[in-house]
Amino acid sequence: MALMSYAQAACQALAAAMRADANVIALGEDVGHGGIFGQYRGLREEFGAARVIDTPISEATIMGAAVGMALTGLRPVVEMRVVDFALCAIDEIVNQAAKNRYMFGGQGRVPLVARMPIGIWSGSAAQHSQSLEAWFAHIPGLVVVAPATPADNYGLLAAAIDCGDPVIYMEHKELWGLEGEVPPQHTVALGQAHTARDGTDLTLVTWSGMVHTALAAAEQAVQQGVSVEVIDLRTIWPWDRELVFASVARTGRLLVAHEAVQAAGFGAEVAATVAEELGVPVRRFGAARIPVGYARSLEDVARISAQELLRELMLFANSDSRGRSMA
């Protein structure tokens, strides 16, 4: 086991992939200088400017070039800096990368990884603090990944580079300094969730930075007599239905929580699918449908705290068989 940060884990996974395959390259703004979060630190020095490519400030150009590179046999890892900026490249992602394999009968493949950090970024306001995983999960042809730990950031990035199809890779903007143990040559299969905490009374499904909030809330719930099982999806699409179904079948209740706006968030897909399949009480808990404010007081309104999540857990745990409050 090696202790490393979330950023270091991703950097080492990318370095290992580049050593193993000369077709793996990185491109984007400031990647040659190590990236704004240090997630490319040292790669230019090892692999040179031909494989760690600094680009102009044009997301459409970056993504368009990456799609072309992928179609000719390279495996580009594309830096979008934050998901908010990736909206400038939405045509290249949605109409080119995602659809090529289908529209050309499998003759073309687009094995690229688009790194688009999500989540609230403290003091960065509305245009730098969005969680848009549901947008990309909606698009056929895209794989969507959201790692929550250094180990998963290593293993899932390696799997994403290996995938062979376009992967929307959504690291969290405020997890870069998070440290954890990473096993050597760690691998995580795409589409495989992880039970982060065992429980018996209620299943809490989440992903990305909200995993840590969920674990904190679950720890506090124990003191109030409620045992919460926490599942980290890790991959948003395809999501691990089997693990979620098995957990909910044991606990009898499902709460899906996410940092993204609750309205039309991916939690609705998970909740609806479980309700249809198992007929158990389900709830969603997400952010208010408001822009994230710059002032800390406004930013906090858009954040979901462990205390808020705990309150929702307790209300749900103490509801009747249809999920209605018994207070």
Tally of CA atoms within 13 A in the half-sphere of 205 that contains its CB? 31
Residue 81: name the closest of 150, 147, 27 by CA.
Answer: 27
Q: Which residues are known catalytic residues?
A: 128
Residue 262: name the closest of 313, 232, 304, 299 by CA.
Answer: 304
Q: What is the DSSP string of 76-93?
A: EEEE-SSHHHHGGGHHII
Sign of dihedral through CA atoms 33, 36, 42, 44? negative
Q: Which two tokens stand for residue 131?
A: 């969680």
CA dist list (Å): 197 to 27, 173, 184, 202, 222: 37, 24, 23, 11, 12
Place of tokens 């509801």: 319
Integer Cα distance of 228 and 246 in angstroms:
14
CA distance from start to end of the chain: 48
List the alpha helices (DSSP H) in 27-96: 43-47, 59-71, 83-86, 90-91
